[in-house]
Structure 1
Amino acid sequence: MDSDKFTVADDSGNTAIAGTLTTTGATVLNGGLTMDSDKFTVADDSGNTAIAGTLGVTGDTTVTGATVLNGGLTMDSDKFTVADDSGNTAIAGTLGVTGDTTVTGATVLNGGLTMDSDKFTVADDSGNTAIAGTLGVTTDWRHCVEWWFDDGLGQVYRG
């Protein structure tokens, strides 16, 4: 055996292998795992794993427990993003929400507004509003338009 290709230190048992290690069967590692100093580590006491590069996963992924993401979130380039510094969220497709929704703060809608298909609509280009049901007003209401009525007999009334 070449002296520098495979060595076992007499006093510590530390082993150095200069080539490729191939194993068949289960491998048990106790004491943590470190590759290239800090590129991939598994802590011995907790199992916490650190990967210095990009983690590529092909296939389904199951995550159980809390997930902490620092640096923002991007899916399929621009389909769903969460900005790291502000938390602003952009969704390129349709957002479906089942259940109650609470919005606090100003809400900006561009493209009109439609509720229950045609029950309440606000047109995008004109702001025209259509209400299919009864409009109930529970506080003072002032109408700022003059009304002119023609009684059909030549009399015009102003209201």
Structure 2
Amino acid sequence: MNYSSSGSDASTSIEKILETLDRLTRRIDRLERLIRVSSIRENQNLLLNFLSLAKAPYHVVFQSVLRAWIVLYRLGRVDPVTESIIYVLSNCSAQSISEVYRGVKQLRKKASRTVVSRKLKLLEASGVVVNKGSSKRPRYILKECITVETK
């Protein structure tokens, strides 16, 4: 039996794990800096609700949160409904108004479909979200997600 090759495989695996942990640590550090810089501290409950709703691997959740914070940071101060919409759309999947409404309702424990629809139209007009559907059946996605896809 050749133990040296299995030892080499183990050290390679450990190196890969350490590299991954290092990348995750850098991302967490970036998130912490964003929290300190932004005024999102006021909405910690919203963030906790978002994290509890996310049924994805942690690195995907962190990417979504980071994406939402970047968009929110660029927008400046926004109302709680708009902020919730950004969080809901931060997973980069095109969603109908009803899907966004349900996500906002889960995050805030209350929502109005009419208000969500109006906010989505305002966000589309300001270039924050893009309609990938039709005018009759809109499907909204963050512009940030499309920009990342094309890079």
The answer, yes or no, to whether TM exceeds 0.5 is no
Compute the TM-score of the two structures, normalised by the length of structure 1.
0.19
> Greater share of helix residues, 1 or 2?
2
Q: Which has the higher contact order (CA 8 A, sep 6+)?
A: 2
Compute the TM-score of the two structures, normalised by the length of structure 2.
0.20
Which protein has the larger Cα radius of gyration, Structure 1 or Structure 2? 1
> Greater share of strand residues, 1 or 2?
1
